[in-house]
Amino acid sequence: MQDGVMPPAIRTIRTPVLDIAYEEGGPPDGPPVILLHGFPYAPRGYDAVVAILAAAGRRCLVPYLRGYGPTRFLDPATPRSGQQAALGRDLLDFMDALAIPRAVLCGYDWGGRAACIVAALWPERAAGLVTCTGYNIQDIAAAVHPAPPEQECRSWYQYYLHGERGRAGLAAYRRDYARLLWRQWSPDWTFDDATFEASAAAFDNPDFVEVVVHSYRHRYGYAPGDPALEPIEGR
């Protein structure tokens, strides 16, 4: 939330797997731009961006990823997968549900991964791609090879979730965990409590912990993927 400006109303669209909550700004007939947040963040990270794009006549759609905010699974039996194929499939389903044939896809971290997957596997759906750190599609087979120690230590939060202690810790301290990562990743950003809470409310989703834990286990080969998503993983 920027300078006390209230975020737009939350809408919901149903896909085969999810009720995806999203926010929309700009003219409804403008060229669509889909803005996808990462972990541990929420659509509030795009408030300033939406203001600029909407003023330029773009239709801005900012969904809550699976496991965040009001987005919900339709079936209790659906695996709470956080794997990259799930994120890509969710984005494609979101576009289909809103009858959007092509859009500029923008994202960072998890959201960037979803955008990259759709752009790579369904290029006809991507009018453009804006992604932090380039194509961040995971090479899961290569994830077994360790990086130099200085680089490895930056991923402590991922390794922490590989054990059940980490799962319990995230469940008990999800806000403390996220706040620490915000501080470590952006040490010069002096965000206040209100700014943090505006995004942290999205972590209260009942599936947040399971989706996050699965994401950081699957990418290292420590958890199986959703069988329904294997064709996408294979591609």
- Strand 32-36 with 18-25, pairing: unpaired
Bridge partners of 13?
20
Q: The tokens of 147 are what?
A: 């990086």
Average pLDDT by stretches of 10, the chain with 235 residues: 66 98 97 98 97 98 98 98 98 98 98 98 98 91 93 96 98 98 96 97 98 98 96 94
**Three-state secondary structure call for residue 22:** strand
CA-closest candidate to residue 91, choices 79, 80, 103: 103
Tell me, what DSSP letter sits at residue 191? -
Q: How far apart are CA 59 and CA 30, in angstroms?
A: 5
- Strand 103-107 with 126-131, pairing: parallel
Q: What confidence score (pLDDT) does residue 6 get?
A: 66
Domains detected in the chain: 10-234 (3.40.50.1820)
Q: Could you tell me the pTM of the whole model?
A: 0.95
Q: What confidence score (pLDDT) does residue 97 get?
A: 98
